[in-house]
Structure 1
């Protein structure tokens, strides 16, 4: 299994950024067209991204510094619902918050596509988290 890591800085405090990882409206503002979230350990994590349902559950929620969710696609043989893990660590910095992302437990065949997706969505989180409008999202997964 493989992992993907990245980080971004957001001009907002961790408490604000945290809401974009744990509320339906916050998540939908930067990633996906739909979110149905229950940010408690064992709670539902459901986001539809570019017509693809991502399903899992919240594994760890530490307000406002850490969110960990399981991640996958219902019906997928390669990455079924909840098969991988996404961790967001929020660290206060002078200009706001540094978000360190770690997506692990990915099959090697899934790393390229998820790296492409995170390259699209993390900058959108930076815009939304700082109070901006990330606008409509026209991202589509890279073909296999």
Structure 2
């Protein structure tokens, strides 16, 4: 099995503008993925996403916006050490590419950078599998949430 990339494609019955907001705005992101998010959706912005309550075993994860091109692309690096800038050697890159399709949007998701971390084989496999499980849980929540925001004529 190759542990270099996780890729998914989903159809969302909402416009690219709505889907872009859902993947790039902290308040929308927190409705389908982390419990909380704090960042500006602009290239170079640094923030964090939080899973659970950090005071009770939850975790705050560093988050750096790489690219934001409404309504086409949003990407970020995450899971890097909080005291260091995100690079391809210390973080994972998530990219959401959006393209119109009929009345909705096809969202192409990619997470890369696993091999670049320099992890030993067992850690690489464990991290990759954990992320696959996580994205398989969270990504299906995105489309139904986006539909609730879509204004129909």
TM-score, normalised via structure 2 length: 0.76
State which of 84, 87, 96 in structure 1 corresponds to 2:95. 87
Counterpart for residue 3 of structure 1: 5
Q: Which runs of 5+ in 2 are unaligned?
A: 53-57, 116-123
Map of 2:35 onto structure 1? 33
Q: After TM superposition, what 4+ stretches of structure 1 lie above 6 angstroms from structure 2?
A: none
Structure whose residues are more often helix by fraction: 2
Confirm or deny: 8 A CA contact 1:53 1:73 kept in the other structure: no
Return the index of the structure with the highest Cα Rg: 2
Deviations 1:42-61 (A, max 9, x none): 00242112423221211111
Aligned-partner Cα distance in 2 for 1:45–1:128 = 23
1:57 is aligned to 64
| Equivalence for 2:137 | 120
Give the aligned length. Answer: 128
1:103 CA displacement? 0.2
Q: Deviations over 1:85-135 (max 9, x none)?
A: 000001111141111111000143311010100001111111111117xxx
Cα contact 2:98–2:107 (8 A) shared by 1 = yes
Could you tell me which runs of 5 or more consecutive residues in structure 1 were left unpaired when the two chains were aligned.
133-144
Alignment of 1:130 onto 2:147: yes
Q: Give, in whole Å, the separation in 1 of the partners of 2:100 and 2:47.
A: 25
Provide the C-alpha distance between the structure 1 equivalents of 2:128 and 2:65, rounded to a whole number of angstroms.
Answer: 21
5 Å matches for 1:95-114?
A: 95-107=103-115, 108-109=124-125, 110-114=127-131
Contact 1:34 1:47 (8 Å CA) reproduced: yes
